[in-house]
Amino acid sequence: MHGVTRTVRLPDLTELHILRGVDLSVEPGEHISVVGRSGTGKSTLLNILGLLDAPTTGEYRLDGEDVGRLGARRRARRRGEGFGFVFQQFNLLPGRTALENVTAPLLYARGRAFWRRRDLAAEVLERVGLGDRLESMPTHLSGGEQQRVAIARALVRSPRVILADEPTGALDVDTGMEIMTMLDTISTETGAALIAITHDLAVAALARRHLRLADGVLTPADGPAAAPSSPAPAVAALP
Amino acid sequence: MTGVVGALVEAWEELRLHRLRVLLSLVGIALSVTAMTTVLALGRITGQAQEEMSDRSMGRQTTLTVSAFPAAATSSSVDVVPAMRALVERYEVTYSSVVVSTNGRFRAAGATFDTQLSLVDPAYGTIHRVQVAEGVWFAPADVDRLAPALVVNEAFMRAIGSPPLASHPVATIPGPRPVTTVVIGVVPDLSPYDMPTAYALYDAYTRMNGAPLLDPEMGYVPTLELWVPPSLGEEGLQAVRSDLTGALGEGTQVDVWSNDVPGQEGVSRVFESVVLGVGFLLLFLGALSLVNISMVTVRQRIREIGIRRSFGATSGRVFVSIMLESVVATAVAGLVGVGLAVLIVRNLPLEAWLGFTLQDQPAFPLSVALVGILAATAVGAVAGLLPATVAVRVRPIDAIRY
């Protein structure tokens, strides 16, 4: 993406500039971390990257195609085929088993992937170590297991890019690291790019490329241990 | 293809997941459909019963009744029946019957008694939907019996001592050359006060006894009944009249009338429209509660809808899914409602209420069943419209954070 901005008009008619000219290029298989304070536009950036939101100005090209020119239908299709989302609160569909949750994205797939959806979902759940919990309800799974179901769901359509929004935010440190390591390993194996937003520097350290978003501007971070410009107390306390 | 199947699967999963809510919200719809389809079906069956009752007395729709007698005579010496038979052959009418109503006298079990006597052809049974309580109605071969066959009512049987039909009870027509007749069938009395009545085949009777007593003053004149298509109309009526007048000469009074009752279909249509109107009103009320529940449910599911948008669900797909949930649910409710209506209609003691057996027992009208299911489905579509619109209007990023 090049020169991407995102501006929203507030109820008092003033404009809030969330992103100010973001430039970002992502290659297949890359693992990128984006750190930044709350409210600096990290989630907005992720939403634009995942085609859930559109930039106010600027250019966003996906495999060379200007997605700004795509209609809503094509954007939705590109989103489903190209991106897998992992959310902080897991966002599993309530009342559905682990298998049904992972099957859900394949309801929007076509051809073989649609008709074989249960087999494919079971395979991916097996891969994230939940082969024996296929029929478990989310309420009967631990936080780490729920996030693994969410990762399986993000991976089931073999996306080009995995977008993880604070994927370890609701997990303890050990489980969080375990989940991120798994995400990193699987994305590397599948050749998918992984873009993770995080406050956790240890999680950010797993990435090969480190970016910081501050006041709507995306800049390279100094290194794996680089902290957000104004870290939260918990983050600041880390070594 | 996968889009349609996927939307259906999605809708079905939602219904399965929320089956109790769905069940409760659909009870009203199912009952409305049951009420509407039951009344419509009963209306059709009542119509059939009315038609059959009318057929019993006046002949099937449309029966032309042709009478002919010399205009100036008090008793007929002109036999008009051959001309009538020729008319039937000329017009190639499949079901026709000469009918002569007269007095009869029979002797049996040592007593002589008077009866009403109707001389008819075998097709009379078909034209008038005659149902025998016992035995059989006349077959064409009965004309050649040496002992003419009789079909009598129950009062007649009582008059001859109620012998079992299997014993081939006989009754004799007294006269210079007494004729023995055999009872082959019994029709039920219409009331407890019925006098003995007998039917005999016209040709068999006249072969044995000569022409029956005719008296135009008393209405004892031969008539011919022709079961014809309703499309024959007034022109056909005139043609029959002029044809028979030509055959019998100008001195013969020929009358032709039709039992066609115009306007019956209009009355049925008005009845059905009223029932449909009331049914739709009931369904509409059911739909209001469905909309209410659906709106609450959709609001609870905003986040889920956002998550599905992240899977690549288009707004159209979300709209169709929410609509389908409503449509599939109400279609199922419609099916259940129609099923209930079929059970109710099949198990109602209709024959006890009607007092006779319907000859052409109408099956549960398919069109009524379809109307019930379609009406329920349409209500589902209308009820799903509002929540589906609400679901689509929420932005995916807002929905995920909801």
Q: CB under 8 Å, gap of 24 or more: what pairs does B89-92 form? A: B90/B243, B91/B226, B91/B240
B313 and A52 within 8 Å at the Cβ level: the answer is no
* Closest CB to B313 among A85, A108, A111: A108
**Residue A162 pLDDT:** 94
User: Secondary structure of chain A: what % helix, strand, coil (to 5)?
Assistant: 40, 20, 40
Q: Is the pLDDT of residue B362 over 70?
A: no
The shortest C-alpha distance from B379 to chain A (Å) reads 27
Q: In which band, very low, low, confident or very high, does the pLDDT at A223 lie, cut at 50, 70 and 90?
A: low
What pLDDT digit, counting tens, does each position of B298-339 carry? Answer: 777 888 888 998 988 888 888 988 888 888 888 888 899 899
Tell me if B312 and A77 make a contact (CB, 8 A cut-off): yes
Does pLDDT of B108 surpass 80? yes
Mutate to test the interface with B, among A44, A91, A107, A157 (most CBs of B within 10 A): A107
3-class DSSP assignment, residue B93: coil
Percent above pLDDT 70 for chain B: 93
Q: Give burial (CB, 10 Å; 0-12/13-18/19+) of B65.
A: middle
- For B311, which of A78, A108, A111 is closest by C-beta distance? A108
Alpha carbon of A223: minimum distance to chain B alpha carbons (Å): 31
Query: pLDDT-based confidence at B382, cuts 50/70/90?
Result: confident
- The least confident of A156-165, B155-164, B290-299 is B290-299
pLDDT for the residue numbered B358:
67
Of A140-154, B207-221, B246-260, minimum mean pLDDT range = B207-221
Cross-strand partners of B252? B70
pLDDT band at B361 (very low <50, low <70, confident <90, very high): low
Average pLDDT over residues A85-89: 88
In angstroms, the CA B116 to CA B104 distance is 6
Highest mean pLDDT among B115-129, B231-245, B355-369: B115-129
Q: How far apart are CA B78 and CA B68, in angstroms?
A: 10
A70 contacts on B by Cβ (under 8 Å) = none
Tell me what pLDDT residue B56 has: 85
Query: Rounded distance, CA A27 to CA A33, Å?
Result: 14
Q: B303: which chain A residues are within 8 Å (Cβ-Cβ)?
A: 91
Peptide bond between residue B74 and the one before it cis (omega within 30 degrees of 0): no
For residue B2, give the chain A residue with the closest CA.
Answer: A110
Put simply, whether B2 touches A (Cβ < 8 Å) is: yes
Q: Can you tell me the mean pLDDT for A23-47?
A: 91
Bridge partners of B182, per DSSP, are B149, B170
Q: What is the pLDDT of residue B359?
A: 64
- B6 vs A85: CB contact, 8 Å cut-off? no
Please give the Cα distance from B294 to B297 (Å, whole number). Answer: 5
Q: Of A101, A91, A82, which is closest to residue A152 (Cα–Cα)?
A: A101
Alpha-carbon span A53 to B112, nearest angstrom? 104
Looking at residue B75, its pLDDT comes to 46
- The residue-averaged pLDDT of B97-104 equals 91
Amino acid at A154: A
Chain B positions touching A104 (Cβ under 8 A) are 308, 311
Highest average pLDDT, of B39-43, B220-224, B296-300, B358-362, comes from B220-224
Q: Cβ contacts (< 8 Å) between A55 and chain B: which residues?
A: none
Residue B98 has pLDDT above 90, yes or no: yes
Q: What pLDDT, on the 0 to 100 scale, is given for residue B148?
A: 94
DSSP A93: P
Q: Yes or no: say if B382 and B323 are a contact pair by the CB < 8 Å rule.
A: no
* In the predicted structure, residue B347 carries a pLDDT above the cut 60: yes
Which of A8, A74, A108 best probes binding to B when mutated, by most B CB atoms within 10 angstroms? Answer: A108
Contact A156, A121 (CB under 8 A): yes
B144 pLDDT higher than 50 = yes
Cα-based torsion angle of the residue sequence B43, B47, B53, B56 in order, rounded to the nearest 10 degrees: -150
Residues of A contacting chain B (CB within 8 angstroms): 47, 50, 52-53, 72-73, 76-81, 83, 85, 87, 91, 93-96, 100, 104-105, 107-111, 114-115, 157
For residue B166, which amino acid is it? Answer: A
Distances (CA, A) of B219 to B13, B74, B103, B114, B236: 75, 11, 11, 18, 25
CA B379/CA B285 separation, integer angstroms? 10
Which residues fall within 8 angstroms of residue A74, CB to CB, at 6 or more apart?
Answer: none
Distance between CA A81 and CA A71 in Å, rounded?
15
Q: Nearest CA to CA, how far is A206 from chain B (Å)? A: 25
- Residue B281 CB: number of other CB atoms within 10 A? 12
Q: Can you tell me the distance from the alpha carbon of B133 to that of B97, in angstroms, rounded to the nearest whole number?
A: 22
Query: What pLDDT is recorded for position B76?
Result: 47
